[in-house]
Amino acid sequence: MEPGCLEPYYLISWLVFQVLMSIEAAKLISDLRLRPGSSLLVVGDVGAGTLGVLAEAMGGLGNIVLLHREHEPPAWARSLVDKGLQARRSIVLEHNDFLATSSFDAVLAQDVLHRLLGKREFVMETYRLLKPGGRTSIIQRFWPFTSLRRREFRALLEKIRSYNIVESRVGFFSAYVVLERPGNG
């Protein structure tokens, strides 16, 4: 959502969100424990700049898979596909049987939960796709920026039993959560 289309109240909220809940790529690299050779699954609106920094820490785009729903990858990712980013279409993000179990070191999901009917199923799918010891980072905006309410997100976190919660910051307008699959990586 761009600030030009917002009422004054929402404009202030949008600015607060941008300042308080923006997650820097360096924090993602650290929290997801990305290093050269790591494999990363990306779902949602991460953006080319952030993905470029993550790829640099991992030694290139070759070990990054972007899941998307549309016929084409998102506009921000198209130039990266030409440079080695693997883009895979998945109409149902909650179930991706074409991806092997325990095949990723990390999963990054940004602003995707509000688009899903099976939010818990999506989180469990990220668990299935992670190697033991792997981490999932969820960055999610809440209402009024998306249809997801903060209480729905908190309820989702309470239902997650298989993951260990490494970090959980749930603010008024957004959340940043890092989950870890138990086991040795």
Q: Which fold has domain 23-180?
A: Rossmann fold (3.40.50)
Instruction: Report the run of H or E that residue 109 belongs to, with start and end.
Output: strand 104-110
Query: Rounded to the nearest 5 degrees, what angle is found at the Cα of 177, between the Cα atoms of 167 and 71?
Result: 155
Could you say which DSSP state residue 154 is in?
H
Global confidence as pTM? 0.86
Judging by DSSP bridges, how do beta strands 164-170 and 174-180 pair with one another? antiparallel
Summarize pLDDT for 121-180 with one digit per residue, the tens. Answer: 999 999 999 999 999 999 999 988 888 999 999 999 999 889 999 999 998 889 999 999
pLDDT of residue 25: 87
Terminal CA-CA length for the chain? 37
In sequence order, the 6+-apart residues with CB closer than 8 A to the CB of 126 are 41, 107, 109, 136, 179
